[in-house]
Chain A
Amino acid sequence: MTPLLKVENISKFYGRRIGCKDVNFDLYPGEVMGIVGESGSGKSTLLNCLAGFLTPETGEVLFEMRDGAMRDTVTMSEPERRMLSRTDWAFVHQHARDGLRMNVSAGGNVGERLMAVGARHYGNIREEAIDWLGRVEISETRVDDRPTQFSGGMQQRLQIARNLVTGPRLVFMDEPTGGLDVSVQARLLDLLRGLVREMGLSAIIVTHDLAVVRLLADRLMVMKDGHVVETGLTDQVLDDPQHAYTQLLVSSVLQV
């Protein structure tokens, strides 16, 4: 099997400070990769480099296009990259309001990506939007409400629907459960797990919450000070951490 995403020697510096350094990994279709680490460890920098929001200083991000060819998304022209980011890629922001249009109705938010790729039939767009709202457990009656009238958990689910509507193959998630209370988090995780399995999505999830990766991720990458200190299967890393920092991280989780 060929990887969907191949990351080679990605480094990003902020002046003389390290953002992230020499990151390598492969992501296979249908696989969910978790990136954990403390604040400032370079997780978000790495994710932004992969998703094309930041330009890394060195390295390649090779993505398997629909025709099967591996293309470097770092050197790709901007129109091509933007096209990717509204078709094959999706990005779920930590704060839903970064990823949503707050003054546009829920239906319009979900429909935007469809219209961006050329859908021009109102009835079909609306039908699809309602279908997707249903899949993320938002009632059809809320389709014309604005996200400002939604709770935090609903906004996050709406953001997920809006991103998945065009059937992307790779989803980037930056702390998708941040700022939500635990019961809402649990439902969101359950929903995400269902969608990932059902659609065969590949995903890269950045989080500092080990419970999230335990539930969702197949593989885990632990970062500290911009470096990858440990990688492996999720259960293996969490149950038998080898690196001192990972041991600290795992033992820091409160047991209730």
Chain B
Amino acid sequence: MSDYNFAYLDEQTKRMIRRAILKGLAIPGYQVPFASREMPMPYGWGTGGVQVSAATLTPDDTLRVIDQGADDTTNAVSIRKFFEKTAGVQATEETAQASVIQTRHRIPEEDLREDQILVYQVPIPEPLRFLEPSEVETRKMHSLEEYGLMHVKLYEDIAKHGAIATSYAYPVKVEGRYVMDPSPIPKFDNPKMEMAAIQLFGAGREQRIYALPPYCQVVSLDFEDYPFEASKADHACDMCGATNSYLDEVIMDDAGNRMFVCSDTDFCASRRKAGHMGAQAAAASAALKETAA
């Protein structure tokens, strides 16, 4: 532990990142350039989020790292271990216990509080990128609020699929000003972004940090005749029976059987602990009782 400075990065770097974070919070949705460092993990593994977390953590913090809502995937495990080793902070798998939550592709189901910070890993921070390849031009478009192009993307969706088919990284407008990429979270999570916690976004390879202060207005873009819809699989969780959570579809066998489970593992586990039971979980426990009897 003592071989590393607290949370791996040196103090000067953390100060530089904190300045970028503060600027980002002052201009919600604006992408602040920062001098992203080489991290001991490859780009695409959350180097941006890790640097933001490193600059945010204090020795008293409790950290949760989730990847697609789960604590036990490779990305989440390796980042959690990284901070346990280099910062010695306490780690948790419960949303309510954590003061800093680093996430990839999900927002926890449980409402976050004002004393919590949510850190997102962002692969491509520029929402206009796939329509306008030039960075010079996209920056100009942001500064002049020329966002017609964003709707061209949604238009293309409807023309091709009959509905807005963008289901993740769904563009949002922040405080009526900047159009922002919410990182690849499902659009089901978009309405949750108006929350009590501070939200920080770090893109390591692209060297950008942006942020949302608490209770910031975040509006998902849409058309008048094709309004935004926070969609999810039309099913209840087979484990805990929740009908209001984002679900993963798990293929069970080659016979076409599948089950839907909450992607937020903590949410699902705590519901089951409280006695809730989904269809497949109920069937399994009934079968168990039968064999016991």
Whether chain B is bound by chain A comes out as: yes
Name A residues whose Cβ lies closer than 8 Å to a Cβ of B: 78-79, 82, 86, 101, 104-105, 107-108, 111-113, 115-118, 120-123, 125-126, 143-144
Min distance, Cβ B133 to any Cβ of chain A, angstroms? 10
Contact B156 A82 (CB under 8 A): no
Query: Which of A79, A82, A104, A123 is in CB contact (< 8 Å) with B225?
Result: A123
Query: Judging by beta carbons under 8 Å apart, are A111 and B155 in contact?
Result: yes
Q: A107 near B223 (CB under 8 angstroms)?
A: no
The number of chain B residues touching the other chain, given as a range, is 10 to 19
Taking the nearest CB of chain A, how far is it from the CB of B156, in angstroms? 5
- Set A116, A118, A120: member contacting B149, Cβ < 8 A: A116
B146-A101 in contact (CB<8A): no
Q: Is the interface of B mostly helix, strand, loop or mixed?
A: helix
A101 pairs with B224, CB closer than 8 A: no
Contact B144 A108 (CB under 8 A): no
Sampled A-B contacts (29; CB under 8 Å): A78-B144, A86-B148, A101-B152, A104-B131, A104-B152, A104-B156, A105-B156, A105-B160, A107-B155, A107-B159, A108-B159, A111-B152, A112-B148, A112-B149, A112-B152, A113-B148, A115-B151, A115-B155, A116-B146, A120-B224, A121-B224, A121-B225, A122-B158, A122-B224, A123-B225, A125-B155, A126-B155, A143-B159, A144-B160
Please tell me if the beta carbons of B155 and A117 are within 8 angstroms of each other in the complex.
no
Q: Is the C-beta of B215 less than 8 angstroms from some C-beta in chain A?
A: no
6 nearest A-B pairs in the assembled complex, by CB-CB distance:
A116-B148, A115-B148, A122-B223, A115-B151, A121-B224, A79-B144
In the docked arrangement, what's the CA distance between A113 and B152, Å?
A: 9
Chain A residues within an 8 Å CB radius of B151: 115, 120
Docked CA distance A164–B24 (Å): 39
Q: Is the CB of A108 within 8 A of B155?
A: yes
With A and B bound together, what is the CA distance between A120 and B225 in angstroms? 8
- Complex contact A122–B148 (CB within 8 A): no
Residue among B149, B155, B158 having the largest count of chain A Cβ atoms under 10 Å: B155
**In the assembled complex, which residues on chain A have CB atoms less than 8 Å from the CB atom of B226?**
122
Which residues of A are found within 8 Å of B152, using beta-carbon distances? 101, 104, 108, 111-112, 115
* Residues of B139-170 whose CB lies within 8 A of A: 144, 146, 148-149, 151-152, 155-156, 158-160
A108: B residues at CB distance < 8 A: 152, 155-156, 159
Q: Which residue of A lies closest to B155 (CB)?
A: A108
- List chain A residues, Cβ under 8 A from B146: 82, 116
The answer for the CA separation of A29 and B149 in the assembled complex, in Å, is: 31
Contact B148 A105 (CB under 8 A): no
Find chain B residues with CB under 8 A from A111 CB: 152, 155
